[in-house]
Structure 1
Amino acid sequence: MTLNDPSQVEWWRHAVIYQVYPRSFADADGDGVGDLPGITARLPYLRDLGVDAVWISPFYRSPQKDHGYDVSDYCDIDPLFGSLEDADELVATAHELGLRIIADLVPNHSSDQHEWFQAALAAGPGSPERARYLFREGRGAHGEQPPNNWRSVFGGPAWTRVDEDAGDGPGDAQWYLHLFDSSQPDFDWRNPEVGDLFEEVLRFWLDRGIDGFRVDVAHGLLKEESLRDQVVEEGEEPHGSASSDEERSMVERTLRDEPMWDQPEVHDVYRCWHDVLAEYDGDRMLVAEAWTQTPESMARFVRPDEMAQSFNFAWLLAPWSAPAFEEVVTGTFAALAETTASPTWVLSNHDVVRHATRYGGGAQGLARARAATLTMLALPGSSYLYQGEELGLEQVDVAPEHRQDPAYLRTGEVGRDGCRVPVPWSGTAAPYGFGPGPDQPWIPQPDDWADLTVEAQLADDSSTLAFYRRTLAARRELAGSPDDVEMLDLGADVLAFRRGAVTVALNCGAAPVARPAGEVLVSSGPVTDRLPADTAVWVRA
């Protein structure tokens, strides 16, 4: 397997990109919530960790109903996180340290507090203001039923009724579409005003030195124009997005009817954005969060005139299995074979259960997490890391009274709060150096995290943090390696491949196996001439 056009040297093609969830990374002002000055102060830590770029989840002005993914002003910083001056200082400091900054952009929907949506509510049916969003008349004799059967990703109907007191006729009341929370109305991307707005937003941040954008819900901007009902199997309920590991396998071939996702016209948007970024120097980039149903549809987002990269969630969704991991690797390369894009690899983010917990938790879960990470980082392409995984953090069972995820608030089902608990930096008790003062942060930290702090792990050469630093340093030595990957057969329970002079082996079985011969460059745990279970190794012949 070979990446096309390996001569390309754009910075993002083989970058390690670290995701910062700003609420939970570092708190500079002591209010219990992370902020931009806190991130700036910790940038030397990220440089020393060995990453190339920092992706920061939304920091725009927002009511924070969905922790920043509900934006009320795309060209300002929410006071919770700081100011535009703080953002400028963060970008400048990152660049001085040799780090790039990727901003999170949320173009599928705005906050219901955005000035456009407030104007739409005031203007009424049929107005140009409402045409910026997806307002429709309801069904039923009095418009009392939603316009279609779509469901919100966060549970419940994807429509909310307005104009309740407007009259008794079906045209006197309208509903608006929100594929996520009711406080997040979806834009109508068939209205050119919406595209014009976001081109202005792109330029605003590019002019301030942002190196790229992670595009939230990149597959969702355009809906099938008729807004028809979703076709479901008999006895099945309509569903929202399949953007969770419980719902979707990227290699799944039983395709669902999804008129709200992955419409062909969405690619016209990204061709326009590609042209905007091309006006700026420094290889500015776009990466899509596109939960598509097949690797082939994912690859459409990275055609030469569209995005630089698309998140590849296949590894994240795969079970602990050598054949499953091999299918991910071979399927990813096959999907990109007709493009000039490089693959991306990711194991955790702010929306999914941390992979140390997914792999079983405890000592076994951590061993598997380290082994999977080591294997992933040997593959050509870009790797995305999520804050705290380098500390071996697991998913936290957040008490119900502290849960704030809108998915939990709408459904009562445990949401994403457990992977968003603030990072422990130092000390022996909460808030573990997360911010000044003695109080717990916005989501309380566990009492048993003293050994997991950055301070504690920097003093321990066997720690997960030390392992990440060694691995990222070794990865830099692979920078000149070819992008050809040759899969090897070392047994049914072993994922193995060769990249240049380096052989990588991951033992997913329950018993030790023979280790590939050669000099051990880095391993996820102790190895001899045998490779233990739940362990990975890089060796050089």
Structure 2
Amino acid sequence: MTAEATLDTSQHVPRHQADAQWWRQAAVYQIYPRSFADSDGNGIGDLQGVVTRVPYLKALGIDAVWLSPFYPSALADGGYDVDDYCDVDPKIGTLEDFDAMAAALKSAGIKLIVDIVPNHTSDQHEWFKEALASPKGSPARDRYIFRDGLGPDGAQPPSDWTSTFGGPAWEPVGDGQWYHHFFATEQPDLNWRNPEVREGFLNILRFWSDRGVDGFRVDVAHGLSKDLPEDLPSQAELNAIPIDGNHPMWDRDDVHEIYAEWRQVFNEYEPPRIAVAEAWVASDRRPAYASPEGLGQAFNFDLLNARFDAGQFEEIVKFNLDLAAKSGSSSTWVLSNHDVVRHASRYGLPPEPSQQDGGKALRAVDTDSDEKTGTFWLLNRGQEPQLQAEQGLRRARAATLFELALPGSAYLYQGEELGLHEVADIEDEHRQDPLFFRSPGERMGRDGCRVPLPWSSEGESLGFGGAAHIPQPEWFAEYSVEQQETDPASTLSLYRRALALRGRLQTEEHLEWLETGDPQVLAFRRPNGWTNVTNFGEQPVELPESLRGEVLISSAERNGEELPGETTVWLKI
């Protein structure tokens, strides 16, 4: 591997400084806390576990941590069923532990973004308990979406709508009324037309901002505003309604009135708090969520949905940079997260349609890697091909360097820096995802990307802590932090070098495409002469004279001026 070159980055202002624009090109690392590090040996990751790994995060070179839900929860949906938005689940810590974690991250120069889940609460939330104990038409029930059932005694649901996790989207409460839940039964949807709901969440935003949180990742940001007609349409009729700003359930124009109120709260702080929307909406609808008057940034999942294909990557990058310019925001780039199959596995499977049905439609495939047989899950139905694990990781490393070279912010998911594959050979009794249980068993769910991390190569849970709440496969030991830390060719070493370079090279949000003479090779130049070249083909190519320079980093070992297949290189030209 070629050593880093010395670059003139004297004009670069570190993003760690108190800069209101720090988020525009940040590298953000998502922590799924229950599977990150367990400090007390109960088999569940916790906030003190995060504290113990702050040196690791600092060495990795990230700018911020995005912390997935850590609130009190019965875990009907991995913590996205929140009992109390202003506390910490006692199984993973206390508010004092949260403050200690926030302080440790701050001392390491790492910002903190937390998940906020505003579309629904848990059925254990005090508001919902009060709603069940209150009569029809009461203010307590008005915080949620209640409807009378059909039939003389209300025994039939108000409509035939289905939940995204399977089964009906309406649940009876025993008095002729039903409540709506787009997700699990334990996740009743809030009524955002209720002023008390809106004011309550403004207070929640202030609560965490006052504790030093730098920003929020907004779950299901496109679903808050709902306007259900008196006569509810059927599921088929609902599906046929255009999602153009006036749909009863999704991406309504008036949702941005909510986020304008949030922006006022964010701007009460210095620097202003930031937010990023999880909004599965049409591309031309995304800028509204990312506008300065709203949340400020929105997830772009297009690369996550793409095959490892030069044409798709180029089209996606060009389109999303134009889209970001329209909103005045920066783009976001994502290859893996807690809801989808890890990209090292996706890229090791035959090309198939990449639309992932909201991360909900999964199927099994078999793999044979290093004589260890496991089972992985892909996001489409069909025949079960063999996973090419080595090729998948090679492509994942190349795609990651491509992603990190782009202008905008990069969101990384815990464990991808280790090159982890998806785990699908999980016994049914250890599965936790409601997708699996509400199918039942036909859709295997998202547990395979939520298996606790391997920190060491030996021990009961490979350094995670106690017996892991989702058991780790034996082959995880080969991908452990301990195994990779001293190996300069490891995926962990690649991420550390790339993030260190990126932190110095990312200046202006500018990209210039370069001619390569090969449709399977993409090249673009960033400021400081930083040039990214990616060969999406399987065969090596000889780069033209115009694309030769000092190698800063390569995702695979190179031989002379040839760029190996499925490889990305950063050059100084």
Q: What TM-score do the two structures reach when normalised by structure 2?
A: 0.85
Give the drift of 1:51.
Answer: 0.1
Is 1:56–1:103's contact at 8 Å kept on the other side of the alignment?
Answer: yes
Question: 1:32-431 to 2 correspondence within 5 Å?
Answer: 32-163=43-174, 166=175, 173-226=176-229, 228-229=232-233, 232=236, 259-292=248-281, 294-360=282-348, 361-397=388-424, 398-411=426-439, 412=441, 413-431=443-461
Moved more, 297-306 or 367-376: 297-306
- Which one of the candidate residues 506, 510, 516 is aligned to 2:534? 506
Is 2:115–2:219's contact at 8 Å kept on the other side of the alignment?
Answer: yes
Q: CA RMSD in A?
A: 2.1
Distance 1:198 1:488, change over 3 A: farther
Question: 1:455-494 to 2 correspondence within 5 Å?
Answer: 455-486=482-513, 488-494=515-521
Moved more, 340-349 or 7-16: 7-16
- Cα distance in structure 1, aligned partners of 2:199 and 2:148: 26
Match of 1:517 in 2: 548
Is 1:295–1:331's contact at 8 Å kept on the other side of the alignment?
Answer: no
Instruction: Give the letter aligned to residue 437 of structure 2.
Output: L
Q: Deviations over 1:396-441 (max 9, x none)?
A: 0122221111111111220000000000101324401101x5xx31
Question: 1:419-458 to 2 correspondence within 5 Å?
Answer: 419-435=449-465, 440-458=467-485
* Secondary structure at 1:526 match in 2: coil
Instruction: Give the letter aligned to residue 84 of structure 1.
Output: L
Match of 1:3 in 2: none
Instruction: Give the letter aligned to residue 274 of structure 1.
Output: R
Instruction: Give the letter aligned to residue 57 of structure 1.
Output: S
Q: Deviations over 1:240-278 (max 9, x none)?
A: xxxxxxxxxxxxx99999632111111111111111010
Instruction: Give the letter aligned to residue 313 of structure 2.
Output: F
- Cα distance in structure 2, aligned partners of 1:17 and 1:267: 25
- Cα distance in structure 2, aligned partners of 1:303 and 1:429: 48
* Secondary structure at 1:75 match in 2: coil
Instruction: Give the letter aligned to residue 565 of structure 2.
Output: A
- Name stretches of at least 5 consecutive residues in structure 1 with no aligned partner: 1-6, 167-172, 240-252
- Cα distance in structure 1, aligned partners of 2:394 and 2:248: 41
Is 1:429–1:447's contact at 8 Å kept on the other side of the alignment?
Answer: no
- Cα distance in structure 2, aligned partners of 1:50 and 1:268: 37
- Cα distance in structure 2, aligned partners of 1:230 and 1:504: 50
Give the drift of 1:538.
Answer: 1.2
Instruction: Give the letter aligned to residue 171 of structure 2.
Output: T
Give the drift of 1:134.
Answer: 0.1
Moved more, 360-369 or 371-380: 360-369
Q: Deviations over 1:31-61 (max 9, x none)?
A: 0000000001101100110001001011111
Q: Deviations over 1:197-253 (max 9, x none)?
A: 1011011111111111111111111123327426648xxx969xxxxxxxxxxxxx9
Give the drift of 1:192.
Answer: 0.6
Give the drift of 1:367.
Answer: 0.4
Distance 1:266 1:530, change over 3 A: same
* Secondary structure at 2:75 match in 1: coil
- Name stretches of at least 5 consecutive residues in structure 2 with no aligned partner: 1-14, 349-387
Give the drift of 1:513.
Answer: 1.6
Is 1:391–1:453's contact at 8 Å kept on the other side of the alignment?
Answer: yes
- Cα distance in structure 1, aligned partners of 2:343 and 2:234: 32
Match of 1:537 in 2: 569
- Cα distance in structure 1, aligned partners of 2:92 and 2:105: 17
Q: Deviations over 1:485-508 (max 9, x none)?
A: 335454221222222322212111
Q: Deviations over 1:101-141 (max 9, x none)?
A: 11110010000011110111111211111000000112344
Match of 2:356 in 1: none
- Cα distance in structure 1, aligned partners of 2:347 and 2:244: 27
Is 1:230–1:259's contact at 8 Å kept on the other side of the alignment?
Answer: no
- Cα distance in structure 2, aligned partners of 1:230 and 1:297: 25
Give the drift of 1:153.
Answer: 1.3
Is 2:228–2:249's contact at 8 Å kept on the other side of the alignment?
Answer: no
Match of 2:358 in 1: none
Q: Deviations over 1:55-89 (max 9, x none)?
A: 10111111221121111111111101110000011
Give the drift of 1:340.
Answer: 1.2
Give the drift of 1:376.
Answer: 0.4
Instruction: Give the letter aligned to residue 82 of structure 2.
Output: V
* Secondary structure at 2:336 match in 1: coil
Is 1:11–1:283's contact at 8 Å kept on the other side of the alignment?
Answer: no
- Cα distance in structure 2, aligned partners of 1:54 and 1:117: 31
Match of 2:380 in 1: none
- Cα distance in structure 2, aligned partners of 1:477 and 1:115: 48
Is 1:59–1:68's contact at 8 Å kept on the other side of the alignment?
Answer: yes
Q: What TM-score do the two structures reach when normalised by structure 1?
A: 0.90
Instruction: Give the letter aligned to residue 404 of structure 2.
Output: L
Give the drift of 1:373.
Answer: 0.4
